[in-house]
């Protein structure tokens, strides 16, 4: 399972890099999507480290709140950001008009970076 956890963090890092490139190209909706999926993979890794698996986005977000944020293993703000960015990602993926500025997307990307870093620290403490 440790290899799978590491692979999820590798994917999270890849998606952060993709989001940065997309944001530079002003492809806002795609950048937001990649930022969310970086968080998704980091959250999946954390849950797997606790032998918890979920198959849906809602299930993953709920389990992350219940088993990771609520007990105080990670700052609850990270859980709120995961929920918020999931909602924004859904809107940016499915709506024909995306009302997200470059500055907002940059803030979303920063939250995603912080989320991935916090999850990594929880699984691989220094």
pLDDT given at position 95: 80
Distance CA 101, CA 48 (A): 34
| Tens-binned pLDDT, residue by residue, of the chain (126 aa) | 699 999 999 999 999 999 999 999 999 999 999 999 999 999 999 999 999 999 899 999 999 999 999 999 999 999 999 999 999 999 888 888 888 999 999 999 999 999 999 999 999 998
pLDDT given at position 93: 85
- Identify the CA nearest to 119 among candidates 12, 1, 14, 3: 12
Other beta carbons less than 10 A from residue 15's beta carbon? 22
> What angle do the packed helices 28-49 and 102-123 form, to 10 degrees?
10
pLDDT given at position 1: 60
71-75 contacts at long range (C-beta below 8 A, 24 or more positions apart): 73/122, 74/46, 74/118, 74/119, 74/122, 75/118
**Continuous H helices in 25-101:** 28-49, 57-64, 76-94
pLDDT given at position 94: 87
Distance CA 78, CA 119 (A): 9
Kindly state the DSSP code that residue 97 receives in the 8-state scheme.
S
Domain spans, the chain = 2-123
pLDDT given at position 119: 98
pLDDT given at position 96: 82
Check: pTM over 0.85? Answer yes or no: yes
Pick the CATH number of 2-123 from 1.10.238.10, 1.10.357.10, 1.20.120.330, 3.30.1050.10: 1.20.120.330
């Amino acid at each position: 399972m440790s290899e799978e956890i590491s692979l999820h963090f590798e994917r999270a890092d890849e998606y952060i890099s993709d989001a940065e490139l997309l944001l530079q190209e002003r492809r806002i909706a795609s950048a937001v999507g990649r930022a969310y999926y970086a968080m998704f993979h980091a959250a999946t890794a954390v849950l797997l480290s606790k032998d918890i698996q979920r198959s849906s986005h809602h299930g993953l977000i709920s389990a992350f709140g219940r088993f990771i944020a609520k007990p105080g293993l990670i700052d609850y703000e990270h859980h709120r950001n995961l929920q918020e960015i999931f909602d924004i990602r859904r809107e940016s993926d499915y709506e024909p008009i995306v009302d997200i500025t470059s500055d907002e997307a940059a803030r979303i990307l920063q939250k995603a970076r912080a989320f991935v870093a916090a999850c990594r620290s929880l699984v691989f403490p220094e």
